[in-house]
Structure 1
Amino acid sequence: MIRPDDFREAMQRFAGPVTAITTIENGVPSGLMATAVCSLSADPPSLIVCINKTATAHDTILRQGFLGVSVMPDTLTAFANHFARAKGVDRFEGALWSFQETGAPLLAGASVAFDCRIATTHDGYSHTIVLCHICDIMLPNVDADRCLLWHRQGFVSLAGREAVENA
């Protein structure tokens, strides 16, 4: 039997991209930070996003049927800290947001941002597994192509390709 503490320790060693998952309802943005995001298919272009059922934005995202996935660049670590700690609409202060087809807020300074419609959801125990069709992709910031990672309960920056090739 795997103990929950052992599982949490193991997952701390599993680096994941830091993403802002966002939506908007009645003109009020809502969002959360997530690392459980991955590509699903190129045809049709789609993502999997896993959202904790206890997150305050969980129900709003499912009700709206659309979401934005903004990958945080390592140049926005201070904003990532703010977004992770702030509550409600205050999370969105201090950054520029843009809107595409669905109307979900997308971080203007993101490494990449995906504008998505929810295709289907599945129960994932403590999380809802959301399969999303990508409506639009923003590659807004060529100077922020290195995404911020979550590893060992903190933000870390990805080593440049040169660092790995020279190792």
Structure 2
Amino acid sequence: MMYDTDPGLTDDFRQAMRRVASTVNVITICVNGEPMGITATAMSSLAMDPPSLLVCINQAAALHGSLQDVSHFGVNVLHRDQEHLARMFADRSQHHLRFASGWEVGGDRPPRLADAQAFLTCRRIDHHQFGTHSIFIGVVEEVRVRDEVDPLIYLNGAYGSAR
């Protein structure tokens, strides 16, 4: 479905969203033993029963097509000291460096950042396309958390801290 959106409204919406702080996450999957990941801020809890969340991924992202086919994905919520990872996973030219250190990678499970603010393994149960993005819904099957609570946030086009 195509929408005829007023460019002025699009610009106003962009400015409004720049004022909404979001945690920074690395969404991970494993395809035929190859780890893949992407930086994303569009992640949200969906329900407590069952524990579930959603992530929104641009259809132009290299990870998008594979995410439609895997059974599980991981959400690595980044800690304030992991801005370098957010930048690395957002930069396609650094693909070869992404899982070099600090990651638990093996089998077909989504890679887990050992010292992430939080990590959630999700069984992908549904996805919906909307505009330029797809909404992927996952039921949470595993959770790990870091004791210190200081997530990396993205606000007004810059990385920062909640503190």
Report the TM-score when normalising by structure 2. 0.87
Structure 1, unmatched stretches of 5+, are 160-167
Structure 2 residues without counterparts, runs of 5 or longer: 1-5
Shift of 1:9: 1.3
Residue number in structure 1 paired with 2:39: 33
SS of 1:31's partner is strand
Contact map agreement 2:33 2:107 (CA 8 A) in 1: no
Residues 119-165 of structure 1: CA deviation (Å, up to 9, x unaligned): 111122111111101110011x323x211011111101111xxxxxx
Superposed displacement of residue 84, structure 1: 2.0
Tell me the secondary structure at the aligned position of residue 68 of structure 2: helix
Q: Secondary structure at the match of 1:56?
A: coil
Distance 2:95 2:141 in 1: 24
- 1:50 pairs with 2:64: no
Describe the SS at the equivalent of 2:81: helix
Does structure 2 conserve the Cα–Cα contact (< 8 Å) formed by 1:70 and 1:114? yes
Corresponding residue of 1:119? 125
User: Which residue in 1 is equivalent to 2:109?
Assistant: 103
State how 1:1-167 maps to structure 2 within 5 Å: 3-87=9-93, 89-90=95-96, 92-98=98-104, 103-139=109-145, 141-143=146-148, 145-159=149-163
**Hey, which of these two has a bigger chunk of helix by percent?**
1
Using the size of structure 1 for normalisation, the TM-score is 0.85
Distance of aligned partners of 1:119 and 1:100 in 2 relative to their CA distance in 1, 3 Å threshold: farther
Deviates further, 62-71 or 91-100: 91-100
Q: For the Cα contact (< 8 Å) 2:28–2:37, is it kept in 1?
A: yes
* Offset, 1:85: 2.0
Taking the aligned partners of 1:41 and 1:157, their CA distance within structure 2 comes to: 26
Identity of aligned residues (%): 31
Deviation at 1:30, TM superposition (A): 1.1
Offset at residue 6 of structure 1 (A): 1.4
What secondary structure does 2:56 align onto? Answer: strand
Q: CA deviation at 1:101?
A: 9.5
